[in-house]
Structure 1
Amino acid sequence: MCSLSHNDLQRIFEKLDKNGDGLVSLDELNWLLEKTTGGSSISLQELEELLVGKKSLNFDEFVFFYDSISNRKINDDEEEVVEEEVESDLEKAFKVFDLNGDGFISSQELECVLKRLGLLEEQSGNKDCRAMIFSYDTNLDGQLDFEEFKNMMMLTTS
């Protein structure tokens, strides 16, 4: 799972907090988990159990929840398993962006997904997405294949 900065988490929290009350509900948190895990779902009851009965999270609790699910201690025996999990997670993430299933992420697909997730302003548009793709497009074909996507994700998490 890639690490997000405090500012990234703040932006995500604010987007999730639809009613502006300073809290993210279980429904909102569950929606985010479904979107970021490729549709695999956890029941609201299971999520509530994870959150020790809480019905919503303030920003600090949201950051703590993020930290608790993203930070894993790794020992030598688990390293290979974790690498496989990372590869699998990256494949799932790639499929989220590869809307037409052709094995490539175009700037249009990137724009569509980022807007749907609320991570790209409407006015920003395709120009910014083309620039993002260009930054990691090693074969200069104007789109990202899985290896380019993987390199991008691994570089941004280091």
Structure 2
Amino acid sequence: MDLLTQYERVFNHFDSNGDGRISSSELQQCVGAIGGELSKADAEAAVEHLDSDGDGLLGLEDFVKLVEEGEEEEKVKDLREAFKMYEMDGCGCITPKSLKKMLSRLGESKSLDECKLMIATFDLNGDGVLNFDEFKVMML
């Protein structure tokens, strides 16, 4: 079963009145059913933000955008956690020294020069360290 078919099944499950659209109240129930919380105002704001045809409801395409935005936010959250593991010097960036230290903890021995080369590959602004945006490019 491909991803779009899976999204359609979920969409149809939450389209409780079967009209081919998800309202803000259906969206609120949808989030509640998966253990989350979404206020009425937040549900209305999400529908307004994602509603591509202006009818005040989410069609399947809008729903897919909602799911994919959520997945993207989750990826970024996970990347921030990983970034924090490598960023040990409290400077908000990954230095060759902090990279060497983390790789060593993971059982991979690299010299400081090797770490500098690894960083240089993704160091977009040439400052010799990786900030979060550069790390994100590297990981995605």
TM-score, normalising length: structure 1: 0.47
Q: Counterpart of 1:79?
A: 68
Larger Rg: 2
Conservation of the 8 A alpha-carbon contact between 1:105 and 1:144: yes
Task: Name the CA distance, whole Å, in 2 between partners of 1:102 and 1:84.
Answer: 24
Uncovered stretches (5+) of structure 1, i.e. residues with no partner: 1-74
Conservation of the 8 A alpha-carbon contact between 1:110 and 1:129: yes
Q: Which amino acid letter does the alignment assign opposite residue 92 of structure 1?
A: E
Q: Counterpart of 1:110?
A: 99
For residue 92 of structure 1, the aligned residue among 81, 99, 105 is: 81
Task: Name the CA distance, whole Å, in 2 between partners of 1:86 and 1:128.
Answer: 28
1:142 aligns with 2:131: no
Shift of 1:127: 1.3
Count of residues paired in the alignment: 77
4+ residue runs over 2 A deviation: none
Q: Counterpart of 2:11?
A: none
Uncovered stretches (5+) of structure 2, i.e. residues with no partner: 1-62
The 3-state SS of whatever aligns with 2:97 is: helix
Task: Name the CA distance, whole Å, in 1 between partners of 2:86 and 2:92.
Answer: 10
Conservation of the 8 A alpha-carbon contact between 1:98 and 1:105: yes
The alignment-based identity, stated in percent, is 42
Matches within 5 A, 1:1-158: 76=64, 77-118=66-107, 120-121=108-109, 124-154=110-140
TM-score, normalising length: structure 2: 0.52
